[in-house]
Structure 1
Amino acid sequence: MTRTAEKFLALLEIVNRLRAPDGCPWDQKQTPQTFKQYLVEETHELLEAINDDDPSHICEELGDLLFQVIFLNNLYQEKNLFTLFDVIDSISAKMIRRHPHVFGNQTVESEQELHRQWQSIKSQENARKEQPRHTLGSIPKSLPALRRAQRVADRVAREGFDWPNLSGAVGKAGEEFQELREALSSGNREQIQEELGDLLFALAVVARKADIDGEEALHDATNKFTTRFLSLEKRMLDQGKRFADLTPDALLDAWQRNKTEPQSSPEND
């Protein structure tokens, strides 16, 4: 047995011990519904570690996520619904089945052909399960809204429902922005929300057409704003000022000047 296998089995025993009658009271009371929030949190912590490109942090967060997966599996295994063997066997068979160009004798000439092959195999799987093929059925509704929008736009584009070029998508976003302006003028909150949603979706389509990950782009923009805001806040505190003390024009001027000056790292102060 390899050291990795030994460590994996030891982790399984740790989870079993935590769930045992004489184990941890907190772990004993968990259910799939109560535990799923921690799975989401750990996933986001891993994503943040990857964004920071910190190998030791990534290693730690991967361990946390692995524990979450094993623990969640245990909750179902205790009910004799399935085992970890079933989980591993299922994903192994699926990956081999969906990669005939790797594990079989098929060949693919392009990424587009690879996508078509993947979707064709999924359709065959659904047919065997007697499940009707639904173009958007496999996209989780629980995804972050922007990422889900871009996934939906990408999926329907594979079916031919797409703008012929980027300018068409940009033009549609312009139309949606004008409709939002009109809704804002009306003061109708429901209409404003609907038009704002339409604009955000249209921008997700623009991101897809431009081959940009909209979720990452928004994270980058938020991080940039956060850095600039904290830098400006620190400078104002050093001068004994508050944002509320400035007029809108003075605040905008301070913001513009702060953008052109070297940025410190106030998060680390």
Structure 2
Amino acid sequence: MTKNINIQPLVDVVSELRAPNGCPWDRKQTHESLRRYFIEEVYEVMEAIDNKDVANLREELGDVLLQIVFHAQLATERGAFTMQDVIDDVTNKMIRRHPHVFPVRGGETDSLSESGNQKLDSSASEAGDTSKSVQMALTWDELKAQEHGEERKNILDGISVGLPALLRAQKLQEKAAKVGFDWTEEDPVWAKVDEEMAEFKEAIQENNQENMENEAGDVLFSLINLFRWYKISGENALIRTNTKFHRRFAHVERRVNQSGRAWGTFSLSELDAFWDEAKVQEK
């Protein structure tokens, strides 16, 4: 058992930054103004993971935690909820959604705020076999639906419109597939990509900008669907490619700068040669 984790020092720091005599920049922040920073920090975590940079991952996870604590502080100041509420809610949710691991009596858990060391052993051992088997039969999505009750009446409810477009496309497709709205073999998936690409080319020939954009979206959507068949996240794949492009182009830029020549004096074939050097170096 690891020792208890204490995030109170961070909570205290953020509270002091928001105090009347605190930092002017921190004091003027809102949930809305912090939105972009939260997104940026999450992507920096993803970059650290892709780079297998453990030290940077540790730092970036701290930055994400800071964002969480900051949002909780804003809510605390207006009496909405506290950081402890956030911790209790997500802890209880994970227990509810894993009844095969935490077969708690009646499907309910007590608040953890009274004791950070509350144990689950007793509730797990007391649960009846019948209750346990019923809980284990529930899927993750069914448990989520029970939690939200009337809020989510439709299959695709709950997929945030704030997600990156590629990630949202994949989640929409995954939810639809769970109820059978999906092909059962690969060939039609490939055929759909070809069909959408043909329609995109037709829109280009018609020189209809709006239709071109619509068809381009269909191409991307069909590619995401294809990637799902091979257990590939389109979002993760594109992040990797963006990182690779940045790294290789940085090499091209260094070679141009080392030459002492202006960019405009290089032919594309010369720049491609630098690009190929970068690819060789990676190998």
Equivalent residue runs for 1:243-254 within 5 Å = 244-245=264-265, 251=268
Residue 148 of structure 2, aligned match among 126, 145, 148:
126
Residue 196 of structure 1, aligned match among 198, 210, 216:
216
TM-score after normalising by structure 2: 0.79
Query: 1:28 aligns to what?
Result: 27
Pair 92,169 (structure 1): closer, same or farther in 2 beyond 3 Å: same
Equivalent residue runs for 1:109-188 within 5 Å = 117-127=139-149, 130-188=150-208
In the alignment, the residues of structure 2 paired with residue 29 and residue 258 of structure 1 have an alpha-carbon distance, to the nearest angstrom, of: 46
Q: Deviations over 1:90-130 (max 9, x none)?
A: 1111111110111126479xxxx98x611111222222xx3
Q: Deviations over 1:54-83 (max 9, x none)?
A: 121111111111111011101011111112
Deviation at 1:199, TM superposition (A): 0.3
The letter of the residue matching 1:212 is I
Equivalent residue runs for 1:86-101 within 5 Å = 86-101=85-100
Deviation at 1:143, TM superposition (A): 1.1
**Bigger shift: 168-177 or 222-231?**
222-231
Give me the identity figure in percent. Answer: 38
Deviation at 1:244, TM superposition (A): 4.0
Q: Which runs of 5+ in 2 are unaligned?
A: 104-128
Pair 191,227 (structure 1): closer, same or farther in 2 beyond 3 Å: same
| Conserved? CA contact 1:166–1:210, under 8 Å | no
Deviation at 1:152, TM superposition (A): 1.0
In the alignment, the residues of structure 2 paired with residue 239 and residue 139 of structure 1 have an alpha-carbon distance, to the nearest angstrom, of: 50
SS for the counterpart of 1:21 is coil
Q: Which runs of 5+ in 1 are unaligned?
A: none
| Conserved? CA contact 1:19–1:28, under 8 Å | yes
| Conserved? CA contact 1:172–1:202, under 8 Å | yes
In the alignment, the residues of structure 1 paired with residue 278 and residue 86 of structure 2 have an alpha-carbon distance, to the nearest angstrom, of: 54
| Conserved? CA contact 1:39–1:68, under 8 Å | yes
Query: Aligned pair 1:69/2:89, yes or no?
Result: no
TM-score after normalising by structure 1: 0.83
In the alignment, the residues of structure 1 paired with residue 16 and residue 259 of structure 2 have an alpha-carbon distance, to the nearest angstrom, of: 57
SS for the counterpart of 1:89 is helix
In the alignment, the residues of structure 1 paired with residue 12 and residue 240 of structure 2 have an alpha-carbon distance, to the nearest angstrom, of: 41
Query: 1:218 aligns to what?
Result: 238
Query: 1:9 aligns to what?
Result: 8
The letter of the residue matching 1:251 is L
Equivalent residue runs for 1:73-84 within 5 Å = 73-84=72-83
The letter of the residue matching 1:125 is E
The letter of the residue matching 1:87 is V
RMSD between superposed Cα atoms in Å? 2.7
**Bigger shift: 195-204 or 227-236?**
227-236
